Amino acid sequence: MQNELKIALIQSDLTWESPTKNRQNFTKKIEGISEAIDIIMLPEMFTTGFTMNAKFVAETMGGNTVLWMKEMALKANAAIVGSVVISEKNNFYNRLLFIEPSGHVTFYDKRHTFTLVGEDKVYSSGKEKVIVHYKGWKIRPLICYDLRFPVWSRNTEDYDVLLYVANWPEPRVSAWDALLKARAIENMCYCVGVNRVGVDGVNSKYSGHSGVYDVLGNLMTGFEPNEEDVQVVNLEKRHIEAYRNKLKFLDDRDTFNIN
């Protein structure tokens, strides 16, 4: 078991619907990280931006982006996390990939597709909860709009970390800030959110606000709005255990089933 987990958050602009250019951009940013890292987090749909043009940009699980993630995870000796447009069995998925240095792949398909822009008409919704067991930590990966639905993220598995990758637009970024903090507090876990910056191909603007919150909802990062940046945060198991043992709020959680 590893008592500390070091996570690098990459807040970046994205080139619209250009997987090659985006992979080149993130290659430089990942290679620029000079310290040992356990997990490197990229935004939602990091190769394309939040596009509904799935037929044009979709890749397979054996495609160039998955191969690139495996290569970068091995080179960086860190897990690489981000979501990609994936085509599988005649369906499209907004799929988060958690790829370890060993090449092991865990994936999570976004459950809450964003109906406001018709994501539900293009992408199939995921049905499965996923817990990643990595270096002695239990990690729950989720995607963007999932953040608005606390029942889906409720900590019934005693996980340690929530990870959100996002393309969360600037007009509603105050909700992003508030909900990341709330998810950390109510689940007594670290909550990590990586959002993009810049303007996409349908003129939506993104201001970042990537962040890491501790069990008490304290912000541990200092990203500047609208700026590309890479920040590294060290998570500690003892922080989680100390407050869970002292406060015991999770002992009083409700029981429920999700259909």
Which of the residues are catalytic?
44, 110, 144
CB 169 within 8 A of CB 204: yes
Cα–Cα dist 193/109, whole Å = 17
CB 225 within 8 A of CB 206: no
Q: Which two tokens stand for residue 76?
A: 């960086």
CB atoms within 10 A of CB 64: 13
What's the angle, vertex CA 34, arms to CA 9 and CA 176, rounded to 5? 10
DSSP-assigned letter for residue 111: S
CB atoms within 10 A of CB 28: 8
Cα–Cα dist 222/41, whole Å = 16
CB 67 within 8 A of CB 27: no
Q: What are phi and psi of 66, to 5 degrees?
A: -65, -40
Q: Which two tokens stand for residue 129?
A: 């909860």
What angle do helix axes 19-31 and 64-76 make, rounded to 10 degrees? 0
Cα–Cα dist 247/249, whole Å = 6
Cα–Cα dist 32/159, whole Å = 30
Q: Which two tokens stand for residue 66?
A: 């998955």
